[in-house]
Structure 1
Amino acid sequence: MSVRDGSTGETAPVRVLIVDDDDGDAMLVEELFADSALEVTLDRARSIDEALGRLDVDCVLLDLGLPDATGLSGVERINATGTSAALVVLTGMTSSDLGVEAVAAGAQDYLVKHEVDPDLLARSVRYAVQRRLSDEQARTIYKSSVRARETARLERALLPTPSIVDPRLSVLVGYLPGGDGLLGGDFYDVVERADGTLACIIGDVAGHGPDEAALGATLRTAWRTLVLAEIDPERILPLLERVMLDERSRPETFTTLCQLVISADRSSAELYLAGHHAPILVSEQSRAIEPTHRGRALGIPVDSPWKSQRLELAGSWWLMLYTDGLLEATVRDPGDDQDRPHDADRRDRGGRSRIGIDGLLAAVSAEFRDGTEELVERILRTVHAVHGGRLVDDAAVLILGWPGCDAGHGQRSATLADSEEWS
Structure 2
Amino acid sequence: MTASLTEPLTLLLVEDDDGDAFLVEELLKEAEAPPRIIWVRSLRETRPRLTGAIQCVLVDLTLPDASGLEALREVLRLAPHAAVLVLTGLRDAHVGVAAVQAGAQDYLVKQDIDARLLARAIRYAMERKRADLAQLRLVEAELIAKENARLERGLLPVALLRGDRVEQSTRYLPGNQGTLLGGDFLDTVQTPDGAINVVIGDVCGHGPDEAALGVAMRIAWRTLVLAGHNGERLLHTLDALLRAERKAPEIFTTLCTATITPDLRHARMRVVGHPPPLLVRDGVVDVVDGTPSGPPLGIFSDAAWKVIDVPLGAEWSIMLYTDGLIEAARGGHDRPLGVEGLVELVREHGSIDLDRLIEHVGTTDDDLALLLVRGRGA
- The verdict on a shared fold, with TM-score over 0.5 as the criterion, is yes
* Residue 362 (str. 1) matches residue 335 (str. 2): no
* Residue 89 (str. 1) matches residue 88 (str. 2): no
8 Å CA contact 2:203–2:214 kept in 1: the answer is: yes
Q: Deviations over 1:54-113 (max 9, x none)?
A: xxxxxxxx63549xx95233333348xxxxxxx321368963643442223223313559
* Residue 168 (str. 1) matches residue 165 (str. 2): yes
Larger mean Cα displacement after TM superposition, 98-107 or 190-199: 98-107
8 Å CA contact 1:63–1:90 kept in 2: the answer is: no
| Aligned counterpart in structure 1 of residue 360 of structure 2, from 378, 382, 394 | 382
TM-score by length of 1: 0.69
> What's the CA shift for 1:392?
1.0
Rate the CA distance shift 1:18–1:93 in 2: closer, same or farther, 3 A.
farther
Aligned partners of 1:161, 1:131: CA distance in 2, in Å?
46
The letter of the residue matching 1:312 is P
Aligned partners of 2:168, 2:218: CA distance in 1, in Å?
17
The letter of the residue matching 1:288 is V
Point out which structure has higher relative CO (alpha carbons under 8 A, 6+ apart): 1
8 Å CA contact 2:270–2:306 kept in 1: the answer is: yes
Counterpart position of 1:109: 84
The letter of the residue matching 1:177 is P
Matches within 5 A, 1:12-411: 16-19=7-10, 28-31=27-30, 33=31, 42=33, 63-65=38-40, 71-78=46-53, 87-90=55-58, 95=63, 97-105=70-78, 106=80, 107-112=82-87, 115=110, 116-117=113-114, 118-157=116-155, 159-182=156-179, 183-282=181-280, 286-331=285-330, 352-369=334-351, 375-383=353-361, 386-387=362-363, 391-404=364-377
Aligned partners of 2:296, 2:22: CA distance in 1, in Å?
70
Counterpart position of 1:417: none
The letter of the residue matching 1:356 is G
Larger mean Cα displacement after TM superposition, 269-278 or 134-143: 134-143
Aligned partners of 2:328, 2:22: CA distance in 1, in Å?
64
8 Å CA contact 1:269–1:312 kept in 2: the answer is: yes
8 Å CA contact 2:11–2:56 kept in 1: the answer is: no
Aligned partners of 2:143, 2:370: CA distance in 1, in Å?
27
Aligned partners of 1:243, 1:310: CA distance in 2, in Å?
27
8 Å CA contact 2:170–2:370 kept in 1: the answer is: yes
| Structure 2 gaps, min length 5 | 13-20, 88-107
Aligned partners of 2:346, 2:28: CA distance in 1, in Å?
71
Rate the CA distance shift 1:92–1:154 in 2: closer, same or farther, 3 A.
closer
Aligned partners of 2:144, 2:11: CA distance in 1, in Å?
40
Rate the CA distance shift 1:189–1:139 in 2: closer, same or farther, 3 A.
same
How many residue pairs were aligned?
333
Q: Deviations over 1:367-386 (max 9, x none)?
A: 455xx6xx323322333xx3
Instruction: Give % identity.
Output: 31
Rate the CA distance shift 1:382–1:293 in 2: closer, same or farther, 3 A.
closer
Aligned partners of 1:119, 1:14: CA distance in 2, in Å?
10
The letter of the residue matching 1:378 is R
The letter of the residue matching 2:85 is Y
Larger mean Cα displacement after TM superposition, 17-26 or 243-252: 17-26
The letter of the residue matching 2:374 is G
Question: Secondary structure at 2:205's aligned position in 1?
Answer: strand
The letter of the residue matching 2:338 is G
Rate the CA distance shift 1:232–1:179 in 2: closer, same or farther, 3 A.
closer
8 Å CA contact 2:260–2:268 kept in 1: the answer is: yes
Larger mean Cα displacement after TM superposition, 248-257 or 95-104: 95-104
TM-score by length of 2: 0.76
Q: Deviations over 1:108-163 (max 9, x none)?
A: 31355993432244134314322432332332332233234324423432x31110
Rate the CA distance shift 1:43–1:14 in 2: closer, same or farther, 3 A.
closer
Question: Secondary structure at 1:175's aligned position in 2?
Answer: strand
Aligned partners of 2:343, 2:29: CA distance in 1, in Å?
72
Aligned partners of 1:261, 1:357: CA distance in 2, in Å?
22
Rate the CA distance shift 1:92–1:28 in 2: closer, same or farther, 3 A.
farther
Structure of greater Rg: 2
Aligned partners of 2:58, 2:8: CA distance in 1, in Å?
12
Rate the CA distance shift 1:238–1:302 in 2: closer, same or farther, 3 A.
closer
